[in-house]
Amino acid sequence: NADTAMYHAKALGRNNYQFFAEEMNRVASERLSIEARLRQALARQELSLHYQPQFAADGERATGVEALLRWQPPGEGMIEPARFITIAEETGMIVPIGAWVLGEACRQLRRWLDAGLPPLRVAVNLSARQLRNAELVLTVREVLAETGIPPQLLELEITESAVMDKPEEAIQVLQALKQMGVTLAIDDFGTGYSSLAYLKLFPIDHLKIDRSFVRDIERDPNDAAIAVSTIALAHSLGLRVVAEGVETAAQLQMLRRHGCDEVQGFFLSRPLPAEAATQFLLRRQEDRTRRLH
Ligand code: C2E
Ligand code: MG
Ligand code: MG
Ligand code: MG
């Protein structure tokens, strides 16, 4: 961060200090430019969603998709969420942007259901800021009413840290959402500070094991132990487990062997634009029907 950078720069002497000061200026002005352009992005329709399929542990049947936000300003490449989500959160822009994401994801699911795909879930990421906003429950209710999708097919992903930020407030919002029948998931599990025992106080359905534990699951016995015991403990608490970041057949096999319920990752499919996701899901469905006959 800026303070440590400054500290090191001073320790290195005058020229380096100059360098770091310029670097920090550059970072600050990039931030300002992103902030200014992000304010226009929604109205200018520069935002879109990509959809990454999730599968039953056999890796065959698609159980849902995770909606992932993308931003493409005209004449530029795609800007990844890592570069703008934090700014959207800090400025509060995540509230209107997040409401748009909820609506768009549910409208897309409506199209898929209307096209005859078997019921699948659409998962939407929520930030801490949205969870603390009183409008969230209303927004979700409106979107469900407007699109008519069965509430349990909408899954809301919340990170441990977002929940633990203000646990008493979070629990009330989550209970209201649960009462509507939506599915709730804890995202990036294992990266924040919480325990499963504590999380059990929240009305959650799914636990997503963070991809940092999946990455070295075959090589690092500690990561394997964390993943395996998380699966066991989650099951004993009645939660379904989804592993994210599955990149190899060996990881998939190991997760399946240890009873992980669902999987998501580049090995199975990258996040896809809506049209490509539609083709992917339809093709999968055809393959399955053919195999069953
Ligand atoms: P996340 O919710 O944990 O989403 C999964 C991220 O992991 C996605 O990155 C996805 O592309 C990436 N991923 C999936 N499979 C693999 C894999 O096998 N290997 C690797 N290396 N990566 C994989 P993405 O799309 O860049 O999103 C990053 C984060 O931005 C998300 O992490 C989520 O926290 C946030 N985000 C994305 N869309 C939204 C949104 O609509 N609202 C909010 N509040 N946050 C969002
Ligand atoms: Mg997520
Ligand atoms: Mg995640
Ligand atoms: Mg993540």
Residue nearest to atom 35 of ligand 1 (CA): 81
**Cβ neighbourhood burial of 74 (10 Å; 0-12, 13-18, 19+):** exposed
Atom of ligand 1 nearest to the CA of 69: 38
Residue nearest to atom 4 of ligand 1 (CA): 68
Cut 0.80: pTM above it: yes
Pick the closest to residue 176 from 140, 124, 123, 150 (CA basis). Answer: 140
pLDDT tens per residue across span 239-254: 999 999 999 999 999 9
Between the CA of 68 and the centroid of ligand 1 the distance, in Å, is 6
Respond yes or no on whether ipTM tops 0.95.
yes
**pLDDT at site 9:** 60
Residue nearest to atom 33 of ligand 1 (CA): 125
Pick the closest to residue 89 from 130, 41, 49 (CA basis). Answer: 130
Contact residues of ligand 1, CB 6 A cut-off: 52, 68-69, 80-82, 85, 94, 98, 101, 125-127, 157, 187-188, 211, 244-247, 265-266, 271
Pick the closest to residue 189 from 173, 177, 200, 179 (CA basis). Answer: 200
Question: Within its chain, how far is the Cα of 266 from the centroid?
Answer: 14
Residue nearest to atom 19 of ligand 1 (CA): 245
Q: In a mutational test of the pocket of ligand 1, which residue from 125, 216, 272 has the highest number of ligand atoms less than 8 Å from its CB?
A: 125
- With residue 177 as reference, give the H or E element that holds it: helix 167-180
Tell me: pLDDT of 257 over 80.
yes
pLDDT tens per residue across span 156-206: 999 988 988 888 889 999 999 999 999 999 999 988 777 777 788 899 999
pLDDT tens per residue across span 45-76: 999 999 999 999 988 899 999 999 999 998 88
Residue nearest to atom 42 of ligand 1 (CA): 125
